[in-house]
């Protein structure tokens, strides 16, 4: 695995099974990944048991928080994806599958309107 940063959410993600996620984190680290926690929590509600660096986004969209604080996240793991928001390096970019779907739809619609 290349040198990537994986951000794991805490509440309802890491907490769903601490033992399993700890093993996953260890495996990711053994493969060369940097694994951190970015939580929506405020620091006055501390996270005591995440095995690694914890960042507190304090309710800010996590992608925006990471960008504002110079944290480059490659992969997000979160039970509530809308809490991440749009990430800077993907802003305005559609997935290749979205482009393909639109092309397929347009071809299909063009076929329907020919007759």
What residue ranges bind Mg ion (CB under 5 A)? Answer: 9, 11-13, 79-80
Closer residue to Mg ion in complex, CB, 9/67: 9
Residue 37 Cβ vs Mg ion, minimum distance, rounded to whole Å: 11
Residue 83 Cβ vs Mg ion, minimum distance, rounded to whole Å: 7
d(CA 47, CA 42): 10
Closer residue to Mg ion in complex, CB, 80/105: 80
Show the beta-strand stretches assigned E in the chain.
5-8, 34-39, 54-56, 75-77
Closer residue to Mg ion in complex, CB, 14/67: 14
Task: Count Cβ atoms within 10 A of the Cβ of residue 20 and give its class: 0-12 exposed, 13-18 middle, 19 or more buried.
Answer: exposed
Q: Which two tokens stand for residue 96?
A: 């290749």
Residue 39 Cβ vs Mg ion, minimum distance, rounded to whole Å: 8
């Amino acid at each position: 695995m290349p040198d990537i940063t994986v951000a794991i959410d805490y509440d309802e993600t890491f907490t769903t099974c601490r033992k399993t996620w700890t093993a996953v984190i260890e495996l990711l680290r053994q493969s060369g990944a940097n694994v951190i926690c970015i939580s929506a929590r405020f620091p006055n509600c501390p996270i005591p048991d995440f095995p690694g660096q914890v960042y507190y986004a304090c309710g800010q969209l996590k992608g925006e928080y990471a960008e504002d604080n110079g944290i480059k996240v490659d992969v997000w793991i979160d039970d509530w994806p809308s809490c991440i928001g749009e990430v800077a390096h993907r802003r305005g970019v559609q997935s290749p599958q979205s482009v393909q779907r639109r092309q397929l739809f347009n071809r299909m619609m063009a076929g329907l309107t020919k007759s």
